[in-house]
Amino acid sequence: MNDTPMPLSFFQQPTLELAKSLLGCVLVKETEEGTASGYIVETEAYLGPTDRAAHSYGNRRTKRTEVMFQEAGRIYTYVMHTHCLVNVVSGEKEKPEAILIRAVEPFEGLELMESRRPGHVRKNWTSGPGKLTKALGITMEDYGGSFLEPPLIISKGYQPEDIVEGKRIGIDNSGEARDYPWRFWVKGNPYVSR
C-alpha cells in the first residue's frame, strides 16, 4: 500500500474537480487495533455559501462547521442519525466547501473491518457513508485533523476508467440544490451506495 498522503496541492483543486479526483484514492485509518483502508468509489460535493444542501449554506458558521472554513485537506466529521460521516474540506480558506465520502471498496484490514461490521456481508461493510466510517474506525475524534498526516490520510490509488455523475442523495428539503449533479461514483463498482 502507498501510505504517503496526497500533497496539499491535490486538495486545493476546485471542489467539483476534487470530488472526482478523490475517486480511486485510498482512505486509510490507523487505530490501536490496526490499519484499515479502502478505495474511494463515491463522493458528493457541497459548495458552501450558495448550496442550500451544505451545512455552511449562507456562510453559516457554527461549532460544527468551523473546520469547513479552514484550509483544504482538513477532516470534517459529523454525526447524522447516530452515524459518523467523514468529509474532505475543500475550496479556499474562509469559503466553506466540503466533499462527503459516501462509499469505499475495502482494501486492507479486511478482518478488522469484518469485526467492526459483524453480521454483514462484505459488500455491505462500506457501501454507505455511515458504514464506511464504522468499518474503518473513523470517529468524531478525527474532526479537525488533516488528511495530510496519520492517523487518517488519503493516499494515491488508481485512476477509475469511468466516472458517473448524478443527483446527491438524502437532501430532498434543499430546494433546487437537490437536483445539482454533484454526486460522483465509479461506474459498476459494487460498493457504491445506490
Instruction: Give the pLDDT confidence of 40-70 residue by residue, as tens digits.
Output: 999 999 988 887 777 887 777 888 889 999 9
95 or 53, higher pLDDT: 95
CA 32 to chain centre: 22
- pLDDT confidence tier of residue 1, bands split at 50, 70 and 90: low
Identify the CA nearest to 150 among candidates 28, 2, 40. 28
Count other Cβ atoms within 10 Å, centred on residue 165: 14
Length of the chain: 194
Q: What is the pLDDT, as a whole number, of residue 159?
A: 96
Domain residue spans of the chain: 8-186
Mean pLDDT, rounded, for 22-34? 98
Query: Do residues 177 and 26 lie in contact, with contact meaning Cβ atoms separated by under 8 Å?
Result: no
Peptide bond just before 96 cis, omega within 30 deg? no
d(CA 38, CA 128): 12
CATH 1.10.260.40 for the 8-186 domain, yes or no: no
Tell me the pLDDT of the chain averaged across its residues.
Answer: 93
Exposed, middle or buried, 6 (CB in 10 Å: 0-12/13-18/19+)?
buried
